Amino acid sequence: MANKPNFSSTYPLLVSFLLSLFLLYSNSKFVVCSTDLKCRDTDRRALVVLREGLTDPSGRLSSWIGEDCCTWEGIKCHNQTGRVTKLDLRNPYHLIGAVDPSAYKRSCLGGKINPSLIRLEYLTSLDLSLNDFEGLEIPGFFGELKNLRYLNLSYASFAGEIPASLGNLSNLQYLDLYADSYSNTGPRELRSQSLEWLTPLSSLKYINLGFVKLDSIGDHWLQTFNMLPSLVHLRLHWCELKGLPLTLPSINFTSLSVLDLSENSFNSLIPPWLFNLTGLTELYLTWDFFSGSIPAEFANLKNLQVLDLSDNLNLEGQIPGLLGNLSKLQLLDLSANNFHGDIYGLFSGFSSNPNSKLESLDLSSNSLTGELPESLGLLKHLQHLDLSSNSFWGSIPSSIGSLSALRVLDLSYNTMNGTIPESLGQLSGLVDMNLMANSWKGILKETHFMNLRKLQHVRLTTEPTRSLAFSASHGWFPPFKLKSIQLENCMIGPSFPVWLQVQNELTSVVLKNVSISDTIPGKWFSQLSAQLTYLVLSQDQIRGKLPRHLNYPYLNLIDLSYNNFEGPFPSWSTNATDVILDENSFSGPIPENIGALMPRLQKLYVSRNHLSGRIPPSMCDIEGLNIISLRSNKLSGELPNCWHRLMLWGIDISNNSLTGNIPNSFGFLPSLSVLLLSNNNLDGEIPSSLRNCTGLTSMDLGGNKISGSLPLWVQYMSSLFMLRLGSNLLSGSIPDQVCRLQNLHILDLSQNKISGPIPKCIGNLSALVHGEGSEVFQRLIREVTRGRDPEYSNVVANLNSIELSGNNLTGEIPYEMTNLLALRILDLSHNHLSGAIPKSLTSVASLTRLNLSYNNLSGSIPFSPRFNDSSIYEGNPLLCGAPLPTKCPLPRPRK
């Protein structure tokens, strides 16, 4: 989902700044001290003592030297008396964008606040915001600063009980105690068990108690704020308020312009008293779990500029047209609710309001349906439009070209099944376009992008069965420079288009199934931005060799799977966590220094290539490695025995030419869950160290030369979902301990030298009795194999199976097998089993495949229309009855 304007989070900081300027300059007395009047010595000494108690890692207070404190950083003085009137120690660290925690911490003031502060008896403004006082309680002596009109302690990591002495600040107009923090030094809790201290603050115009814990106050909190007649801004974001009265005996805080009650989980209807606050310009009620429909009384709030009802989940009904009639509305956010029906009513309201000032409209994550109305084009000031995650269908209306101010368009995750109009190319201000996860069709021409000069982000995907094609000339140069692109199932090939080759500022590239069957341009990789974070070129027929060495320090994911790339394994120096190269023609060895090249690797998928040589031991140096998938290559030699204490949980090295023993060190992988080593030339016994891997869910060692007997410690593998040991050299009997595997859905011991009877306790395998609980295990296997390998792509096909064929088993088929009511596949062929077939075996309703051929079974075959194939029973000369041609002898008459 595209980013949207965050009025709620940025507004408090903006108001803090503007009101601070107002308080400073609205009266001519409050200006910087003149050059011939120095500060009072009492004030200077008070500030020196204050500084001595503070920590200042970055030296922000280094200017606090000399006799004239009026010239010190953050100090303002009265121009006639020289007394300090303003103390601004707000952290100037730039907090827009990514925050470097260590750099931010260095810029913070902290430590203790000395009571010498109260000597600044003419102080009107105190700002300590955006610092880190690491859980310090707000000093009670702040209440002695009787002239204070502005107090900002927001984002400063204060904690404990708010001192009631703040109620002594009778001149206070601005109070910001917002208790969230940018600090990572630990959680802080600022709280207030009573709000009576607010009652004397009759001059208060702005109050922000966001993140202050007010859960013990009950529902009396509202009446306290209602008694503040001058209040203009009230912000109570995430205060854990316990109740919201639906009625008030009288409304006193009618001066309210901004009300933020977001994220308090009221679980009620929207209260009617709200609609008496006709001066409201901004109303934030997000994540409050309001329910019901939108009240018609919203029409009373004619001054609303911002209305945010998002993330309540249970607001429902159709979106009324009255919201479109609010002529001053600039932001409307109704996302993440349960609104249904079409949006024609809402846009009918906009149609009757030709001077609409709406800049941001977010209706995402609802249950809205229907086609998008042509009247969409009437919103001339619209900058942000998010209709994602609904069920809209049809085409984008051509009127969208009239939205000349539009910067963000998000129609993702709908059922749009029509075309994209050429008028889209008129959106010259468009920056972010997200049309993914729909069913688009048609042809996109150069005119679709003709004027999109500011376009930076494009996401466009359709269904594989739909036809969506780019029809641009091969040498077309687009007007935009993209930062990110995601195209899936859109035909932009067969050649690698020039318009894509010239995009050299990309930080994210996702091209899946885009019909490119061309050689990769030689210089394209080297021209990509060094800031690249995602590189996905998959499910096409791109061929050629990759550059042997590249340096992408910010790359998180590389996916070049299902193409025709060739040449050696790319020796790219990268911090990528996911490297996916499945289904190509890479050859040669895996780099010996892969541990140094890719030190942050978590998932490595290189199945179905032509890699050869050994698996390098340096792979054991990658501490965060989770999954190795090297299936179907030409790898040889022994597996390295160095797997100690890694996070590795999924291993698939099946279908190679590995030799030697299974490494004992696999048993020291505490997270090992999926181990797939089938179809190699591994020998020796199953290492006893694997008994330590109690979280193992799937183990496939089939198609090797593993010898010895089935280990008794297998009983400790309580999570085992799949055990495949077929086509090996195992001997001995099936131990009763196997019957304790209560999550076992797949058991394959076929084509070994196992002898003795089938244990009767096999009927105790509860997963094969109830057939439930396999989903989580299937997901683990699919993640390791990426769900594409024929053997594992549909694990469901082999669910609930027992395959014991091709052994030397003797004795009778246990009657207890008929308890396995969820059993789907049973193969006992090519053994030496004797006796009769249990009559109820063929009556197991879930059984779809049965093979009892080539044993020594005797007697009549139980009647079953489902198992009417003679091959199921052939090779048992003593069996008789249909479907075999041998008829059973008639019973002898009784004497």
Q: Strand, helix or coil at 849?
A: strand
Per-residue model confidence (pLDDT) at position 30: 36
pLDDT tens digits, 460-494: 999 999 999 999 888 899 999 999 999 999 999 89
pLDDT tens digits, 207-245: 999 999 999 998 889 999 999 999 999 999 999 998 899
pLDDT tens digits, 531-580: 899 999 999 999 999 888 778 889 999 999 999 999 999 888 899 999 99
Q: CA dist 575 to 552, 708, 764, Å?
A: 7, 43, 48
Per-residue model confidence (pLDDT) at position 10: 46
CB 301 within 8 A of CB 325: no
Q: What ranges do the domains of the chain cover? A: 41-119, 676-880
Widest CA span in the chain? 138
Among candidates 212, 202, 91, which has minimal Cα distance to 163? 212
What would the mean pLDDT of 428-454 be, rounded to a whole number? Answer: 96
Per-residue model confidence (pLDDT) at position 579: 97
Q: What is 518-563 written as a DSSP string?
A: SBPPTTHHHHS-TT--EEEEESS--EEEPPS--EETT--EEE--SS
Q: Supply angle C-alpha 478, 483, 488, rounded to 5.
A: 80
How far apart are the C-alpha atoms of 877 and 221, rounded to whole Å?
88
How far apart are the C-alpha atoms of 73 and 669, rounded to whole Å?
57
Residue 510, H or E segment: strand 508-512
Per-residue model confidence (pLDDT) at position 614: 97
Q: Could you give the percent of the chain with pLDDT greater than 90?
A: 81
Per-residue model confidence (pLDDT) at position 894: 67
Confidence of residue 525 (pLDDT cuts 50, 70, 90): confident
Among candidates 611, 488, 493, 479, which has minimal Cα distance to 541? 493
Is CATH 3.20.20.370 what the domain over 41-119 is classified as, yes or no? no
Q: CA dist 271 to 47, 195, 228, 245, 294, Å?
A: 48, 22, 20, 7, 11
pLDDT above 50 (res 603):
yes
Q: Strand, helix or coil at 221?
A: helix
CB 721 within 8 A of CB 744: yes
User: Same topology for domains 41-119 and 676-880, yes or no?
Assistant: yes
Global pTM value: 0.86
- In one-letter notation, the amino acid at residue 293 is S
Confidence of residue 818 (pLDDT cuts 50, 70, 90): very high
Per-residue model confidence (pLDDT) at position 186: 66
For the chain, what is the radius of gyration of the CA atoms? 36
What would the mean pLDDT of 337-357 be, rounded to a whole number? Answer: 92
Among candidates 303, 246, 261, 310, which has minimal Cα distance to 280? 303
Q: Is 776 exposed, middle or buried (0-12, 13-18, 19+ CB in 10 A)?
A: exposed
Of 550 and 114, more confident: 114
Pairing, β 551-552 against β 543-545: unpaired
pLDDT tens digits, 664-720: 999 999 999 999 999 999 999 999 999 999 999 999 999 999 999 999 999 999 999
pLDDT above 50 (res 32):
no
Q: Strand, helix or coil at 705?
A: strand
Q: Class of the 676-880 domain?
A: alpha beta
pLDDT tens digits, 789-800: 666 665 667 889
How far apart are the C-alpha atoms of 575 and 164, rounded to whole Å?
52
Per-residue model confidence (pLDDT) at position 433: 98
Confidence of residue 23 (pLDDT cuts 50, 70, 90): very low
Pairing, β 84-88 against β 75-77: antiparallel
Per-residue model confidence (pLDDT) at position 168: 97
Q: Strand, helix or coil at 564?
A: strand
